Structure 1
């Protein structure tokens, strides 16, 4: 019987990496510190996320980290070139169909031939408890005719009111970081 040798993937020293929906940039910054020869890009719509990610990169003196405060639709229009890796961590499962299409367009336009897309998602068993909460917040924010940032601020204010009134959601899941902020 022939033995099958496992191959380990080792990224080439010089590669280009892009994280869509990078949040506070922890993953991208750790990877940038681990692979100083590579080039890293982090894209997120939330100004506070990009500010936190930049601060982390500045503290670590990372010169290979680039940040883009923009939407997925607008990111596709940036002159970013091609990437060897495009990743999304738990983003795709929570965004609208419009944003999913924008992500697919970005990947189509910016992934190198032979490149890798890594799309982790939040599966229902681990996240089912927040789905009704998420749907309520999403519905409430859709009822306002405002820019996305204003909708996020409205939703956050509503969440704080629920938290202040000791909503049963918080008593059942007090450590839920996604909504406990």
Structure 2
């Protein structure tokens, strides 16, 4: 599920409203500019902080998402939902286009997830049925191991606060395959 109060969405349900052709075009172009910027920024070989700074400029200019999104929260959320589904339709025609769209949207999602406070991340996870136990009070040795298996080249994710969760092994098989998790007692 999604919520009318969540800053982040899994885009499980398409919007159900009428919009003008001008809005349709504007929303699609704004999001496409950001997705193309993501692709371009990632190809430049910048540090993750430099990438995050450049992406933030595009996001604020073209999608009007800010850290203080509360000001225009519902309008921002509406535009986010509509623009995502417009481009999702436009990019579903071929496997190559679907892969490109998914890759850029995944980076955008991770970027936005990193901008959330820990309480918002937990609320988002619970809202979407991701009821994983947060790992709290991590001992320093375990923390070093966790950081060592973090996502290599984690572009656009200048993390201000790192959170770890216990996830059942079977649900993290893709991360296990890429060796991006720490395994302990059947949990990743």
TM-score by length of 2: 0.23
- The structure with the largest strand share of the pair is 1
- The structure with the largest helix share of the pair is 2
Higher Rg of the two aligned structures: 1
